[in-house]
Amino acid sequence: MNKTTEQTASNAGAFKCSEAAKAKARNFVENERQFHLGFLPTEQSNPITASLEDDFRRSTIAGVQCLQRGDRQIPITMRHVFAGRRFERLVSAMEATLRAPKGRIIFSGCGATGRLSILLESMWRDFFHRRAAELSPEERALADRSASIMTGGDFALIKSVEFFEDFAEGGRRQAAALNVGEGDTFVAITEGGETSSVLGTLQYAVEHGATCFLVFNNPADILRAHLDRCREAIDNPKVTVIDIYCGSMSLAGSTRMQATTSEQLLCSRALEMALCRLMPRFADEAEPDATSAFERLLAGLESPDGRAGLARAIEFEKGLYQVGGRITYIADKCMLDLFTDNTERSPTFMLPPLRSSRDRNLAQSWAFVKNPLHPTAECWDEMLRRTPRCLEFTSEDAKSLGMPQRFIDSPPRIGRADLITYMIGNEPAPERIEGYRRAAAVTVTVGDRPQDFTEAAARLAAAWPEQTAIHIGPAPADGIWIADNIPGSPLEVWRHLAVKLAFNCISTGTMAAMGRVAGNWMSWVSISNKKLIDRGIRLLSELGAVSYEEAAQRIFAAEEWIASQDWTGKEEPCAVQVALKGTGARD
């Protein structure tokens, strides 16, 4: 938080709560109990990483070691899940869908799981693109037999779409637009198991005859006991529930970490097994034991060279950001993975979101991603292996969903024409260079380093005053080398998981090293939906030693104050941090 914000928040009377703020707080406390989620393990502090803040103060390596403890919870759970009948039912349903003359494997999610859903579809499509010469025309036609639903549409891949996740009806409408129904295998993925929009898509899929699965990362009995919407889905005999609870997150509430990682492992493994059953000649390329392969990934990242590389990447990012610098990643094969990581940094740590070329008055995101091989107009199709599916959202849509008045007055611009204003291609990017004390281009490769890519990346990166590279793989490389052994895979399952594990650590570790966590809590969280509002209130209650009700009033008062200020060209402060200053608590 800048000095002006800190000063204002600390002034006596800064939190004289207006009647409007009190009314909003009262409504949230009394009428939004279905979004009071502190009882969920995924929202609670994990005791094995409670020292995260202190460990990063001691050394970056110690902080990395602490963060990695949470990932070791995943294989303990997944070994049992992979051996279970429900996982076999998922693989068999996918195989049956692919053998039928029509039908699709459809993944649905929101936020981190929405981006995972898009990734899973793109992994499927990319296989048929990469291996086209080895496939018959009938086999190549299978590329279109997978699809995904992202709450808020594909635009939400690059920038979180506020409040959409709170509306089940919005999810139903997106499922209807994709014509989900009989013959489809439908996999709803929600980190905590409670996301309304995802459950809405599932409800529609059930009603229209799809074979349905619900994947989540909390104990099913706890969800059933507390949340009506979860009980309805879990108890539905037409839904196969796959509960892969593997403990609380390394960073409390940050379900983009272990929850989404385990869900990525589960769904990508199932998709690859279905592919190999359909085309057995590719089975020899797949790992026979997914849990052992995942443990080998973890072991590589936990090795001395793995941890040293992760620590170097964290220290490099921290050094840039501390002087107001900016990083631009240059990538190709792992571009979608990096967008997922970069987009999720924004609400987790209250960072400026990725910026459109038309929003010149907004602050630049701390990190961005560009592809050196294609211009922006082509890059989106190349990255997704299809045309983006975006929503043309209107005031009438917002009104019919019961969204807040500000969405009715000014509906979010989240259509395809809006998406392609984010210049992710090989165009020059002076806006990410000029006016900053430090600006760096970081080329990212995983496993191999294709010559056409590295040459194009070098040409694009030449415009930046600083250049380096991050390489994830078994062989040492120039720049920052993160050692890891990446097994082979038809769908490149392990390549994508290696990027996720590494950048979960890098992005979270950088913020921890910069003091944006308290203990192992995300103390700079954005309150952009009801779940995050609750998370902010609980954090303020704990750190500020005030009641939940008083914390709610302070959060809404801080939000009201922020909304009254002009942040043109500046980074908007975190309401939780503003409220914490008002309590005199440490941030």
DSSP string, 534-583: HHHHHHHHHHHT--HHHHHHHHHHHHHHHHTS--TTSPPPPHHHHHHHHH
Residue tagged 């919407």 (tokens): 229
Please enumerate in sequence order all residues whose Cβ is within 8 A of that of 174, keeping only pairs 6 or more positions apart, or say none: 149, 151, 153, 197, 201, 391
Question: For the purposes of burial, counting CB atoms within 10 Å of the CB of 2, is it exposed (0-12), middle (13-18) or buried (19 or more)?
Answer: exposed
At residue 17, the pLDDT reads 85
CA 198 – CA 263 distance, rounded (Å): 15
Please enumerate in sequence order all residues whose Cβ is within 8 A of that of 226, keeping only pairs 6 or more positions apart, or say none: 39
- Order of strands, edge to edge, in the sheet holding 439-446? 367-370, 326-330, 439-446, 466-473, 480-483
Amino acid at 471: H
CA 10 – CA 486 distance, rounded (Å): 50
Q: Are 106 and 215 in contact (CB under 8 A)?
A: no
pLDDT in tens, the chain (587 residues): 444 444 444 443 355 789 999 999 999 999 998 888 888 899 899 999 999 999 999 999 999 999 999 999 999 999 999 999 999 999 999 999 999 999 999 999 999 999 999 999 999 999 999 999 999 999 999 999 999 999 999 999 988 787 788 899 999 999 999 999 999 999 999 988 889 999 999 999 999 999 999 999 999 999 999 889 999 999 999 999 999 999 999 999 899 999 999 999 999 999 999 999 999 999 999 999 999 999 999 999 999 999 999 999 999 999 999 999 999 999 999 999 998 999 989 888 889 999 999 988 888 999 999 999 999 989 999 999 999 999 999 999 999 999 888 889 999 899 999 999 999 999 999 999 999 999 999 999 999 999 999 999 999 999 999 999 999 999 999 999 999 999 999 999 999 999 999 999 999 999 999 999 989 988 888 887 888 899 889 988 988 889 999 999 999 999 999 988 888 878 888 888 888 886 655 55
At residue 182, the pLDDT reads 98
| Other C-beta atoms lying within 10 Å of the C-beta of residue 133 | 6
CA 390 – CA 433 distance, rounded (Å): 30
User: Among 396, 398, 379, 397, which residue's Cα sits nearest to residue 388?
Assistant: 379
Q: Are 531 and 523 in contact (CB under 8 A)?
A: no
Q: Which helix (H) or strand (E) holds 326?
A: strand 326-330
Please enumerate in sequence order all residues whose Cβ is within 8 A of that of 383, keeping only pairs 6 or more positions apart, or say none: 122, 335, 336, 339, 371, 424
Cα 151-154-159 angle, rounded to 5 deg: 85
At residue 144, the pLDDT reads 97
At residue 584, the pLDDT reads 53
At residue 310, the pLDDT reads 98
CA 385 – CA 2 distance, rounded (Å): 42
CA 578 – CA 563 distance, rounded (Å): 12
| Residue 167 DSSP SS3 | coil
Phi first, then psi: give them for residue 39, nearest 5 degrees. -75, -15
Q: Are 316 and 506 in contact (CB under 8 A)?
A: no
| Residue 339 DSSP SS3 | helix
| Domains, the chain, with CATH or none | 3-31+525-583 (no CATH), 71-290 (3.40.50.10490), 298-513 (3.40.50)
Q: What is the length of the chain?
A: 587
Q: Are 45 and 539 in contact (CB under 8 A)?
A: no
At residue 16, the pLDDT reads 75
At residue 583, the pLDDT reads 61
Strand partners, 446: 472
Pairing verdict, β 326-330 and 211-216: unpaired
Strand partners, 186: 106, 212
User: Among 54, 494, 78, 482, which residue's Cα sits nearest to residue 258?
Assistant: 78
CA 485 – CA 312 distance, rounded (Å): 19
Rounded to whole angstroms, what are the CA distances from 63 to 346, 480, 500, 554? Answer: 21, 18, 18, 32
CA 226 – CA 220 distance, rounded (Å): 10
At residue 15, the pLDDT reads 56
Where on the phi/psi map is residue 569: left (φ > 0), alpha (ψ -120 to 50), or beta? left
